Structure 1
Amino acid sequence: MSFTAEINRRRTFGIVSHPDAGKTTLTEKLLLFGGAIQEAGAVKSNKIKKGATSDFMEIERQRGISVATSVLAFEYRGNKINILDTPGHKDFAEDTFRTLTAVDSVIVVIDVAKGVEEQTEKLVQVCRMRNIPMIVFINKLDREGKDAFDLLDEVEQKLGLKVSPLSFPIGMGYDFKGIYNLWEKNINLFTGDSKRDIEETIEISDLEDPELDELIGESSANTLREEIELVSGIYPEFDKVAYSNGELQPVFFGSALNNFGVRELLDCFINIAPSPRPKQSEERLVEPTESKFTGFVFKIHANMDPNHRDRLAFVKIVSGEFKRNVPYLHVRNNKKLKFSSPNAFFAEKKQIVETSYPGDIVGLHDTGNFKIGDTLTEGEILHYKGIPSFSPEHFRYINNADPLKSKQLYKGIDQLMDEGVAQLFTLEMNGRKVIGTVGALQYEVIQYRLEHEYGAKCTYENLNVYKAAWVEAEDENSEEFKEFKRVKQRYLAQDKAGQLVFLADSQFSLQMSEQKYPSLTFHLTSEFQ
């Protein structure tokens, strides 16, 4: 198969949602349709088996939530599909934000009963900032939930999306009869039997057809006709170009647990979702069809196997072919590296691959060379951007609880920060280390991993900080900047990259600084260059 054909048949996407909306179940069912697993549920049981080989996964098992992005790949109808299943829990949102830099499109899962929730709003905002094409999947239709039109209104208002329904439910909850598929012009009848892989699909090209009354009953048929008329009157017709530009979002309804509406979603997805897209680097726009290999690290997972102390760096391939045992330039270190066992992921199993193409995700064994955001190329100096650190919500001093193990503690902190578990700030005044996280749960994760993976113990001390703001000065020699540094001395720190950060103790303090020092800009993400 030609290089261009390999690119065109790839679809790399992320699944995002609030916790418990059914992300992992949907991932599982997509794999079932792709034939990657024989029965649904295998992903979960594999997760537990895999969890047994990884200290970090203990926490996933104890709490029953995903804390790390899983990478899964499968073949479906001649297409190679790469799924990145992200954590929904807000304490691990930063992992999800970074993962969104590696996808070409996104499926947003919404619970029919709860509607649009807070975490979904944040994630969709990031997708909109980057114009990522989104498909909305409204899940759990077999349960009592909100009215379909109310849900569509909520998606438009709360998420700021412009929706175009491509399927529509016939009833809801107890009187849920099935789905009318506007994309394929057919009806899918719901039997509620989750053991059946695929529900019955009946071709109905004309809703006035009397066969519809026989299938779902006269009153349901009349309601459906009215609703579909309303849908075509209110919502714009689906337009592939608008979807690809992130301006229009198709909506599907279904029940992932019952395998219902998942095939329709998948069939439409492989038709409309973009193949690998060009990516902007600091130097230029890189097209996937370029012959020379480039890629970037968007995630690092340490100690996946405690016996080997290995780290896996997840690399998204942007252009060219990535080949095993070929030396590539690590741009930040200006060093050539070659990889003898690059991994690809097929439904939770790792396989060594010889050649990977744009859109693919490859896991590279790493001895500590990589940081999140690193670029690999065949020699060209490129820097991919778009992997920011966000201002943390929680701040604590980290103290060494075992003076004999200070070396292990600093090594552990250093590696965990490279992995992006949290952010490290060093106070300019006294050199004390402060750890900032998006959620309080990460402190447990850090403490647990420092002890079990590095043999170091730490304690925490609370620190009253409202926000970390990265400081950008128009002129670093100006009197205003010098005065700011003198007045705010005890609130200033440096991040791991040596950038100046203002740890504001209140919203008022941050606002006053913005007013008092107009030539300074305070950023809430680290990537502002």
Structure 2
Amino acid sequence: MTILNVLKLRGVPQRLQNLKAFVQNYSSHEKFAEHKPLEKIRNIGISAHIDSGKTTLTERILYYTGRISQMHEVKGKDNVGATMDSMELERQRGITIQSAATYTQWKDCNINIIDTPGHVDFTVEVERALRVLDGAILVLCAVGGVQSQTLTVNRQMKRYNVPCLAFINKLDRMGSNPDRVLAQMRSKLKHNAAFIQLPIGLESECKGIVDIIEQKAVYFEGDFGLKLREDEVPKNLLSKVTDKRQELIEHLSNVDEIFGELFLEDKGFKDSDIKAAIRRSCLKRSFTPVLVGTALKNKGVQPLLDAVLDYLPHPGEVENIALIEKEGQETEKVILNPARDGKNPFVGLAFKLEAGRFGQLTYLRCYEGVLKKGDSIYNVRTTKKIRVARLVRLHSNQMEDVNEVYAGDIFALFGVDCASGDTFVTNPKSNLSMESIYVPDPVVSMAIQPVNAKDRESFSKAVGRFTKEDPTFHFHFDNDIKETIVSGMGELHLEIYAQRMEREYNCPVTLGKPKVAFRETLTAPCEFDYLHKKQSGGAGQYARVSGVLEPLPPHQNTLVEFVDNTVGTNVPKNFIPGIEKGFRMMAEKGLLSGHKLSGICFRLKDGDHHIVDSSEFAFNLAAQGAIRECFENGCWQIIEPIMMVEVVMPDEFQGVVIGQLNKRHGIITGTDGIEGWFTVYAEVPLNNMFGYAGELRSSTQGKGEFTMEYSRYAPCLPEVQEQIINAYQQAEGILPPEKKKKKN
């Protein structure tokens, strides 16, 4: 037997091959994990409406930057699926459920990217991503344009003051119209936006793009559009490019003083002047540059990456504020220093939790200082000290170890017991804390229980993990109906968690009919003057409260307020917290239908106390009695969540769909139609939307799609209110007023 055969038998060539792959992977990791100056860092999120092409765009970005060697499609036709859709459910459904982080390199700059979901059910994933990012790419479909979730994402960017680029994707689709999308951005999103690129052809004729600033055509050739060829602008587009360039200049001159002066002097512009003006105005969120392309057909992605470097901010250009809370003093604001010189103490924010293979995985953003492996950090909320045993940076579901992270980096820690929104520091005496993440209230509740009683332990583990990871997923046991209730942002949200329990914990569950979060509110002010008096031997109880319970304005009908308008010493100030506590206890369960009270203000005007018998507990009971008195004397109504619904379907189903929405007591707020497709915008009570997905599919031959998001609370119909009250009274065994009279 030859020596070569012996080596083959022993597997030496295979080991050498494995070693070679390891070295390549390690050198690749070193390339991407290399620390750069602050100016060479970009933290961006990719956000959009459902099916606008966010994950496909991220896949192309990773491919063109050399982060991955092969591209895969979102739907996973090759049984692989997109890199950023690492969860099996995401690949099967073709949707993004969890935001996924990665980092890559383009033209000597490190880019941290978070790909976010488009469904409103997973909106908290977008919230916490935008909270820690410096810039964003707002992806819009060239056919769908500005849709319902685009409006939500735009509001979230505004809330966290995140500058953005707009990328009009899917130019290859039938009916694509970038001009219409730009008009919608200006009218619906109120963006001061203008094209900096134009497409060369649309639909099947899409060949490339024209750079309006440098006035050149760019074609994407070779395998997967890797080779860029620059050429002159096609003659049929020359006049349009001139017009759009002039439009761009006018939009910039309106918002940028330096550029405006150049415009008024009429001395002409260099390309660098226009780019500098775009960057300055984009950082201030006063202008949105609009780029075009088709990620699926590999066109327009590389110029988009150039625009990210040219126009979006690096961490040093974003003002990040921490708060110092001192007892008895106003909260002090401190601007954090993102310098990467290692002189400042570490400050980081935990923005996402996930169960990893080695315990809880906590995603953090470093805002100040340096954190090294082996350092100790403190949780500002709990004051617990934690030793950092392992630092990782994330590439979807893959982890890559690093020895240190600097200001501007997004990274993760293992085994840290914390909550989403916690601040971590190396100097516990600083008392610094970052502003937390906005978490919307859940709107849908469902009864849930494991199919098999023996799975209760797995069920409690799953619920414990999911409620910790997702602050919009709530869980509680309702003593009144003796059922376990889960609440979330929509039916899809709860359905996904039910499937994950079965897949990840081998615990099949059944979900009951969704329950809507109704509320009870007043329609007119109701005065109260309640005396709580108890004398039965020993220490007595004496408390009197008077004031008015009044409704809040419609835009505040989800709030509950307590206002102390007392003057003098009739109600001692040390008893006021007891009154507020009693009021808020009663607000947890109304006497009309058992739902929470909202949209009311308890205005305390006066009262009385006894020098011996008054106590905080007595005033607590007096406040509860005052609310009961208001239930008897006041005029109450039930309000319900109203959803903003957007339905897209082919033209021929327009009448059927509008009829269905009317039957569900929907109010049509607008319509839109483009080349064979029709969009209906409506406001529909959430209670009437259950089961609509199946009805829409069957009535539109599977071609109709709808999305909905919470809009506001509004009074429900009288017959619905009567049904809710009757059901509650039957469940509680309460006799209606007319039956009480007969019995007496």
* Matches of 1:436 and 1:383, distance apart in 2: 29
The one of the two structures with greater contact order (alpha-carbon pairs below 8 A, sep at least 6) is 1
Residue 230 of structure 2, aligned match among 188, 201, 217: 201
Residue 308 of structure 2, aligned match among 261, 269, 294: 269
SS state of the match for residue 37, structure 2?
A: helix
| CA positional deviation for 1:299 | 1.1
Residues 330 and 273 (structure 1), Cα distance of their counterparts in 2 relative to 1, 3 Å cut: same
The answer to whether residue 389 in structure 2 is matched with residue 340 in structure 1 is: yes
- Is the CA contact (8 Å cut-off) linking 1:278 and 1:288 kept in structure 2? no
Determine the structure 1 residue equivalent to 2:322: 281
- Is the CA contact (8 Å cut-off) linking 1:416 and 1:422 kept in structure 2? no
Residue 317 of structure 1, aligned match among 366, 369, 374: 366
Q: How does 1:350-369 map to 2 (within 5 A)?
A: 350-366=399-415, 369=417
* Matches of 1:414 and 1:220, distance apart in 2: 59
Residue 296 of structure 2, aligned match among 251, 257, 261: 257
Task: Give the AA of the match of 2:413.
Answer: L
- Is the CA contact (8 Å cut-off) linking 1:51 and 1:57 kept in structure 2? no
Determine the structure 2 residue equivalent to 1:221: 238
| CA positional deviation for 1:16 | 0.5
Residue 8 of structure 1, aligned match among 35, 39, 47: 39
| CA positional deviation for 1:137 | 0.6
Residues 328 and 113 (structure 1), Cα distance of their counterparts in 2 relative to 1, 3 Å cut: same
SS state of the match for residue 100, structure 1?
A: helix
Residue 473 of structure 1, aligned match among 557, 562, 580: 562
Determine the structure 2 residue equivalent to 1:491: 595
* Matches of 2:494 and 2:241, distance apart in 1: 51
Residue 441 of structure 1, aligned match among 454, 470, 492: 492
Determine the structure 1 residue equivalent to 2:122: 92
Residues 221 and 491 (structure 1), Cα distance of their counterparts in 2 relative to 1, 3 Å cut: same
SS state of the match for residue 180, structure 1?
A: strand
Task: Give the AA of the match of 2:88.
Answer: E
Determine the structure 1 residue equivalent to 2:164: 134
Task: Give the AA of the match of 2:227.
Answer: I
* Matches of 1:113 and 1:271, distance apart in 2: 27
Unaligned runs of 5+ in 2: 1-33, 254-273, 325-332, 520-556, 565-576, 598-637, 643-711, 717-744
* Matches of 2:211 and 2:452, distance apart in 1: 62
Determine the structure 2 residue equivalent to 1:25: 56
* Matches of 1:405 and 1:470, distance apart in 2: 39
- Is the CA contact (8 Å cut-off) linking 2:75 and 2:93 kept in structure 1? no
Determine the structure 2 residue equivalent to 1:521: none
Residues 441 and 370 (structure 1), Cα distance of their counterparts in 2 relative to 1, 3 Å cut: same
SS state of the match for residue 256, structure 1?
A: coil
- Is the CA contact (8 Å cut-off) linking 1:427 and 1:491 kept in structure 2? no
Determine the structure 2 residue equivalent to 1:498: none
| CA positional deviation for 1:13 | 0.7
SS state of the match for residue 383, structure 1?
A: strand
Residues 37 and 453 (structure 1), Cα distance of their counterparts in 2 relative to 1, 3 Å cut: closer
Task: Give the AA of the match of 1:243.
Answer: C
- Is the CA contact (8 Å cut-off) linking 1:400 and 1:457 kept in structure 2? yes
- Is the CA contact (8 Å cut-off) linking 1:46 and 1:348 kept in structure 2? no
Task: Give the AA of the match of 2:380.
Answer: V
Determine the structure 1 residue equivalent to 2:284: 245
* Matches of 2:397 and 2:455, distance apart in 1: 35
The answer to whether residue 265 in structure 2 is matched with residue 161 in structure 1 is: no
* Matches of 2:390 and 2:76, distance apart in 1: 26
CA-to-partner distance for each residue in 1:46-72, whole Å, 9 max, x for gaps? 9976999x9x92211221111111111
* Matches of 2:374 and 2:460, distance apart in 1: 33
Task: Give the AA of the match of 1:244.
Answer: L
| CA positional deviation for 1:167 | 1.5
Equivalenced residues, count: 483
Residue 506 of structure 1, aligned match among 640, 660, 664: 640
* Matches of 1:176 and 1:402, distance apart in 2: 55
CA-to-partner distance for each residue in 1:451-484, whole Å, 9 max, x for gaps? 4444555433332324794645345525865765
- Is the CA contact (8 Å cut-off) linking 1:422 and 1:435 kept in structure 2? no
- Is the CA contact (8 Å cut-off) linking 2:362 and 2:413 kept in structure 1? yes
Task: Give the AA of the match of 1:311.
Answer: Q
In angstroms, what is the RMSD of aligned CA positions? 3.6
* Matches of 1:474 and 1:412, distance apart in 2: 41
* Matches of 2:118 and 2:641, distance apart in 1: 27
Larger Rg: 2
| CA positional deviation for 1:227 | 4.3
* Matches of 1:471 and 1:357, distance apart in 2: 43
- Is the CA contact (8 Å cut-off) linking 2:59 and 2:82 kept in structure 1? no
| CA positional deviation for 1:352 | 0.6
Residues 473 and 409 (structure 1), Cα distance of their counterparts in 2 relative to 1, 3 Å cut: farther
Moved more, 393-402 or 102-111: 393-402
Residues 482 and 92 (structure 1), Cα distance of their counterparts in 2 relative to 1, 3 Å cut: closer
* Matches of 2:404 and 2:77, distance apart in 1: 26
* Matches of 1:332 and 1:459, distance apart in 2: 37
* Matches of 1:152 and 1:51, distance apart in 2: 29
Determine the structure 1 residue equivalent to 2:11: none
| CA positional deviation for 1:131 | 1.5
| CA positional deviation for 1:436 | 1.6
* Matches of 1:442 and 1:43, distance apart in 2: 20
* Matches of 2:515 and 2:242, distance apart in 1: 60
Moved more, 418-427 or 372-381: 418-427
* Matches of 1:491 and 1:23, distance apart in 2: 39
- Is the CA contact (8 Å cut-off) linking 1:465 and 1:505 kept in structure 2? no
CA-to-partner distance for each residue in 1:95-121, whole Å, 9 max, x for gaps? 122211111110011111111111111
- Is the CA contact (8 Å cut-off) linking 1:7 and 1:357 kept in structure 2? no
SS state of the match for residue 242, structure 1?
A: helix
| CA positional deviation for 1:250 | 1.0
CA-to-partner distance for each residue in 1:264-305, whole Å, 9 max, x for gaps? 121121122111233233423333237111111111122x44
Moved more, 479-488 or 327-336: 479-488
* Matches of 1:399 and 1:267, distance apart in 2: 51
* Matches of 1:449 and 1:223, distance apart in 2: 51
SS state of the match for residue 159, structure 1?
A: coil
| CA positional deviation for 1:41 | 3.0
The answer to whether residue 381 in structure 2 is matched with residue 381 in structure 1 is: no
Residues 222 and 166 (structure 1), Cα distance of their counterparts in 2 relative to 1, 3 Å cut: closer
Moved more, 394-403 or 425-434: 425-434
Determine the structure 2 residue equivalent to 1:61: 91
Moved more, 96-105 or 146-155: 146-155
Task: Give the AA of the match of 1:373.
Answer: G
Task: Give the AA of the match of 1:440.
Answer: E
- Is the CA contact (8 Å cut-off) linking 2:130 and 2:160 kept in structure 1? no
| CA positional deviation for 1:361 | 1.5
Task: Give the AA of the match of 1:97.
Answer: E
Task: Give the AA of the match of 1:162.
Answer: N
Residues 243 and 84 (structure 1), Cα distance of their counterparts in 2 relative to 1, 3 Å cut: same
SS state of the match for residue 281, structure 2?
A: helix
TM-score, normalised to structure 1, is: 0.80
